[in-house]
Amino acid sequence: MSKPTILILCTGNSCRSHLAEGILRAALGDDYTIASAGSKPAGYVHPLAVKAMTEIGIDLSSHTSKHMNEFLNQPVETVITVCGNADQACPMFPGQVNRHHWGFDDPAHATGTEEEIMTVFRRVRDEIRRVFEAYAAGRLDQSKQRLS
């Protein structure tokens, strides 16, 4: 049996979707395939997103910005959008069973000093962490119930 794929979508695939991807991968482990993509990918992962995740022990340095169309021919069990624009642009994926939308502020739009901007990245990271770790705990509980 193949591992369920969870795809996290955002418009630019440079910040929020990568934060969520890293957190969800760490929380769920190897029994799931976790990926992220964007409806209009920025072409890079924001360096402050990488820095914010490094602070909590999650490495995003190998992540790349991808277009959601790369996943249209793959079985995607769950799609989670983390910004309103991606939720509106989101197509149905083959095999898609679940769809969730949890919107978060875009830290890439933060202004101020580097420390003030970093504070916004940390806040959004922590908000995403709370939501996605709770989601992961629910998925893991479901898996245990099916096995018992």
Which residues are marked as active site? 10, 83, 90
Six-digit token pair at 88? 């509106």
DSSP string, 93-138: -TT--EEEE-----GGG--SSHHHHHHHHHHHHHHHHHHHHHHHHH
CA distances, 104 to each of 17, 76, 131 (Å): 10, 22, 10
Do 46 and 16 touch, CB atoms closer than 8 A?
no
